[in-house]
Amino acid sequence: MLAGKRIVLGVTGGIAAYKSVELCRRLIDAGAHVVPVMTAGAERFLGTTTLSALASEPVRTRLWDDPETPIPHTKLGQNADLVLVAPATARIIGAYAAGLSTDLLTNVLLATRAPVVVCPAMHTEMWEHPAVVDNVATLRARGVHVVDPESGRLAGGDVGAGRLASPESIVAAVEAVLAPGDLTGQRVVVSAGGTREPIDAVRVLANRSSGKQGYALAAEAAARGAAVTLVSTVDLPTPGGVELVPVETADEMKSAMDRLAPTADVVVMAAAVADFRPADPSDGKLKKRDGVPVISLEPTPDILAGLGAAKPDGQVLVGFAAETDDLAANAAEKLDAKRLDLIVANDVSAPETGFAHDTNAVTILAPDSPACTVPLADKRTIAAAVFDRVVQIRSGG
Ligand code: CTP
């Protein structure tokens, strides 16, 4: 599966650097062309000779010392099919999350559009430090594949989470990333976040949607090979390879969705669209001295119902249903009324699910099919369950 694939293997300065030798061998055995890059820290744990002897090319260590390639990072980054960092220290994870280019490997990471697989290895205290946790979450949100470390014996005799994943797991992760995705060649449009409807020049009528589920859906679709456009009201890191269309109001979201949906294979309306908006927003700021304003509301357009009515043949149209009561019955009604192929219902009043949480629990309904329940899981797992069902429908299931 890896035959002919050009993999930049980044090795950073941790005890687990010695395991990169075995990893390199396995990648070569699987047919990959491995280009090793070692950081200065890695050189304290591993000589360059070993990796140079095993890999397809000699180890590179510096930005500046190659007379034939004055800018090696762009060449390495552009030509790679995949960049793998194993082991990845807290330093490289932090530098990559912050966009810092301080050495050859960090430059390669910023100069590549290829998928990146990062395999952290460090002591448990470091792995669980809030800064590292945040940096890893940032990388994941950008579409970087993180192979979690295992629990076990660490350097110095300590035991805990932080041991580099096994070479088999890392090679399997690389193979999974390079395997053609089940949405390859398909155009997917996802909406995310809550709309904001102006009351006056400074105030808006908003809702509690964080947009996290929509971003997880966009990242998942991109990881499966789709060309993804994300129509969003929120300011979260855009997942790698996803095109962002920023909007604010229901009207702006409707224009974007109406423009993008006709050529899409899959449309997912994960956004929480305001059902009502101020009928007569003030251009200036409403002043306190003028007394408590009476704000009359008017309905917004139902974007999803419009997309359902104009749905091209073969397109899979997915809606969300945010419910507090009678989840399945209300969702089934929306599925039918808006002419959807799938509806993802969540109870926004339950603990740990729905708005602003990192986790969700949903019931997925399709016409004439039994409901499928996905128990509490992170939003990316929920996204994967939604696209599993989408792929099934597109292949006639
Ligand atoms: N939706 C939409 N346009 C609206 C309102 C909702 O496109 N003006 C979409 C949402 O993005 C979601 C689905 O319709 O995919 C259901 O939204 P939800 O708020 O659960 O239901 P509503 O149709 O608004 O009905 P209600 O608020 O009465 O539950």
pLDDT at 396: 85
pLDDT at 32: 96
Between these two residues, 380 and 257, which has the higher pLDDT value? Answer: 257
pLDDT above 80 (res 67): no
Q: How close is the Cα of 383 to the center of ligand 1, in Å? A: 19
Q: Could you read off the pLDDT of 174-222 as tens digits, one per residue?
A: 998 898 889 999 999 999 999 999 999 999 999 999 999 999 999 899 9
Helix intervals (H) in the chain = 19-29, 40-45, 48-54, 72-79, 90-98, 104-111, 124-127, 130-141, 167-178, 212-223, 250-260, 303-309, 327-337, 379-394
Is the CB–ligand 1 distance for residue 387 below 6 Å?
Answer: no
pLDDT at 176: 86
Q: Average the pLDDT over 334-352 and give the result.
A: 92
**Which of 59-68, 325-334, 344-353, 386-395 has the weakest average pLDDT?**
59-68
Q: In 10 A of CB 358, how many CB atoms?
A: 14
Q: Which atom of ligand 1 is nearest to the CA of 301?
A: 8
297: three-class secondary structure by DSSP: strand
Q: Average the pLDDT over 57-66 and give the result.
A: 85
Q: Which atom of ligand 1 is nearest to the CA of 274?
A: 8
207 is catalytic: yes
pLDDT at 75: 87
Superfamily of domain 6-178: Flavin prenyltransferase-like (3.40.50.1950)
Decide if 346 contacts 321 (C-beta within 8 A). yes
| Top-tier CATH class for 187-394 | alpha beta
pLDDT at 354: 67
Q: Which residue has the tokens 């409403």?
A: 286
Q: In 10 A of CB 357, how many CB atoms?
A: 19
Q: How close is the Cα of 140 to the center of ligand 1, in Å? A: 29
Q: Which atom of ligand 1 is nearest to the CA of 331?
A: 20
Is the CB–ligand 1 distance for residue 257 below 6 Å?
Answer: no
Please choose from 273, 311, 333, 339 the residue to mutate so as to test ligand 1's pocket, defined by most ligand atoms within 8 A of CB: 273
Q: How close is the Cα of 55 to the center of ligand 1, in Å? A: 54
Q: Which of 107, 135, 207, 346 is catalytic?
A: 207
Is the CB–ligand 1 distance for residue 254 below 6 Å?
Answer: no
The full set of domain ranges for the chain reads 6-178, 187-394
Find the helix packing angle between 167-178 and 19-29, rounded to 10°: 40
Fold: same for 6-178 and 187-394: yes
CA 334 → CA 337, 350, 389, distances in Å?
5, 20, 18
pLDDT at 1: 75
